[in-house]
Amino acid sequence: MGTGSREQEFGQPGAMGGPQGPRHRQQELPLRILVPTQFVGAIIGKEGLTIKNITKQTQSKVDIHRKENAGATEKAITIHSSKEGCSQACRMILEIMEKEANDTKIVEEVPLKILTNNSLVGRLIGKEGRNLKKIEQDTGTKITISSLQDLTIYNQERTITVRGGVEECCNAEVEITKKLREAHENDVASLNQQTNVMPGLNMSALGIFSSGLSVLPPASGLRGSLSASANYSPLLGPPSLLGSMYGVPSSGALSLQQTTAEQEVVYLFVPTPAVGALIGKKGQHIRELAHYAGASIKIAAPDNPDDPERMVIITGPPEGQFKAQGRIYGKLKEENFFTAKEDVKLEAHIKVPLTAAGRVIGKGGKTVCVIC
């Protein structure tokens, strides 16, 4: 690539996801890792020979994001390959960094740092942290995950830090990415099911097929008429994801002219304990959510302190409704208000004109059954 590019690509011709390989499958989940900036040169090697050897042996394409975040102490590397190829490339990179660290004595420890979208983390951790604890016990590693407070509307990635020897870290990587891929595949299946029942939905405008793939749960329906299965929400990620599932919408998607669009009001009911997570520290999360969706989002005061649910009032155009509701569903999943395999089921109220009620229900209730 040219010297002005934001990242360097190294790929074995014909490798999975490479420019000359088979048709790119957008649903594949690449492996993204963080490496100390001082080791990037050793990973690339003289005239790029080291990284070319990695891509050749592992049949992978490797993107090294050198130009991003100038001055940062760490750089992201994205590996596109089969699961075995990703793990093999990760092992080779770790071995290079360990050798470089031993030779230069710059650092005493080089942990493995895996980047993943925040929407997958809850299912990696598991109920009461059981999944993560098992991986630690089985591999002899110590695993930590970066705080939710580090996330912004433009960066929805969490850092999974694995400490241990190279062999132990590689074994943990296999188990971690296995869990992440399972969650990812479930989300893809959920998206496919949802787009089948909503074929007219403008996915591009929602940022779903812009530079990556995000998903959102079905829109709200009449009281008691909708059970929404939401494994995750549309989440913005940095442009450097390069084809990963969770991409940032195109500039056109972010600059939708929503001011003239018809405004809708939806009343979404969420568990009372979830309100704090939705609002965020000093209201940061709900402000970012409203900005992203282009909608007004308010949480109504409870009628009494013992109410098990709180009402969220969302006012905005149809696509803003999808965005806002999708993020809310995903947030509840991420915060483990539901188990990994449990569907997110919330109650939503939406008003329709009396004259349109028959069309919503359909002949013999067929239309509303399809929506459900």
pLDDT of 54 strictly over 60: yes
pLDDT tens readout for residues 96-140: 999 999 998 877 889 999 999 888 999 999 988 999 999 999 999
pLDDT tens readout for residues 189-216: 776 665 555 554 444 444 443 333 333 3
Owner of token pair 């995950």: 145
**pLDDT value at residue 78:** 95
pLDDT-derived band at 344 (thresholds 50, 70, 90) equals low
User: Residue ranges per domain, the chain?
Assistant: 8-183, 202-371
pLDDT of 58 strictly over 90: yes
Q: Which residues contact 10 (CB under 8 A, 6 or more apart)?
A: 44, 48, 51, 52, 54, 55, 61, 62, 63, 64
Please give the CATH topology (third level) of the domain spanning 8-183.
TATA-Binding Protein (3.30.310)
pLDDT tens readout for residues 246-302: 433 333 333 333 344 578 888 888 888 888 989 988 888 899 888 888 889 999 888
CA atoms of 6 and 240, how far apart (whole Å): 8
**pLDDT value at residue 17:** 40
Q: Which two tokens stand for residue 157?
A: 């990635």
Please, are residues 36 and 110 in contact by the beta-carbon 8 Å criterion? Answer: yes
Q: What are the percentages of helix, strand and coil residues in the chain, rounded to 5?
A: 45, 15, 40
Please give the CATH topology (third level) of the domain spanning 202-371.
TATA-Binding Protein (3.30.310)
Neighbours of 18 (CB within 10 A): 21
**pLDDT value at residue 192:** 67
Please give the mean pLDDT across all residues of the chain.
75
Residue 346, phi then psi, degrees to nearest 5:
-120, 160
**pLDDT value at residue 153:** 58
Of the chain, the end-to-end C-alpha distance in Å amounts to 48
Strand partners, 115: 32, 159
Distance of CA 359 to the CA centre of its chain: 36
